[in-house]
Amino acid sequence: MSEWFESWFGEEYVALYPHRDLEEGEQAIELIDRHLFSPVSHALDLACGAGRHARSLSERWPTVGLDLSAVLLRLAVDEARDAEFVRGDMRVLPFKRASFELVVNLFTSFGYFADDESHLQVVREVARVTSPGGTFVLDFLNTDQLRDTLVPYDETEIGGQIVEQRREISDDGRFVTKRICIRGTSREFIERVRLFERDDLCRLMEASGFTVADIFGNYDESPPAPDAPRVILFGRRR
């Protein structure tokens, strides 16, 4: 059985969510640039999507973007012409040990798997390809804030179509699921993200060979807080 993300991040996703906030992407990379643990000669944008972060990264350092979606990678090639792109699974990275001084995983491109062993495997792979003293930035949603502000239902018009979105947290509290339905059609898609607490993410990084040295609550360098929108962890490779 295929995972939800294998089919969702394709043509339908691009048609329904065409907007890319390049300014926000640049703000995220500026934050990273200010808090690096060592000089960077090679950077990896893990789960790079359509390339908005890879563009800003490649303006500073030689950058490789990796994603599973062939559709998003085609967009990324046009978005970030100075970067290189590879299609692959983040659980098995096709790179040699210590290939990068900087690895980033941005805008909640994590937590997609059904089992936590797979999430741990991702961070272990990141540690393998990160050079000693290098930087890993894991940018995740703030679970506390999401639980307090979850909108169960909304609808919006995109490209002349009404898109309905239903959100719920699983009974065990471990996942948030969003069901996306295009009104008047039989098309429905699912997004599911594991609701890691900040301490959970810290433990994953520490267990994989990183020391968590900085934590922020948003791209403007604000501190972590229960109502902050993000949990942005900076890990230094031991």
The pLDDT tens digits for 123-168 are: 999 999 999 999 999 999 999 999 999 999 999 887 788 989 999 9
Same domain, 24 and 85: yes
Q: List the domain range (segments joined by +) for residue 162.
A: 145-191
Same domain, 207 and 167: no
pLDDT, residue 161, reads 84
Domain boundary among 191, 207, 226: 191
Tally of domains in the chain: 2
Same domain, 91 and 175: no
- The percent of residues above 90 in pLDDT, for the chain, comes to 82
Is 113 a residue whose pLDDT tops 90?
yes
The pLDDT tens digits for 50-60 are: 999 999 999 99
Average pLDDT over residues 79-84: 96
Same domain, 12 and 104: yes
Same domain, 49 and 149: no
Same domain, 113 and 158: no
- Which of the four pLDDT bands, split at 50, 70 and 90, describes residue 203? very high
Using CB atoms within 10 Å of the CB of residue 81, give its burial: 0 to 12 exposed, 13 to 18 middle, 19+ buried. Answer: exposed
Is 1 a residue whose pLDDT tops 70?
no
Distance of CA 113 to the CA centre of its chain: 13
Is 237 a residue whose pLDDT tops 70?
yes
Average pLDDT over residues 214-233: 97
CATH number of the domain enclosing 14: 3.40.50.150
Same domain, 176 and 61: no
Average pLDDT over residues 92-103: 98
Average pLDDT over residues 175-188: 89
Residues 94/68, Cβ–Cβ less than 8 Å: no
Same domain, 173 and 151: yes
Same domain, 104 and 52: yes
Same domain, 49 and 154: no
What average pLDDT is seen over the chain?
93
Same domain, 61 and 172: no
Same domain, 47 and 18: yes
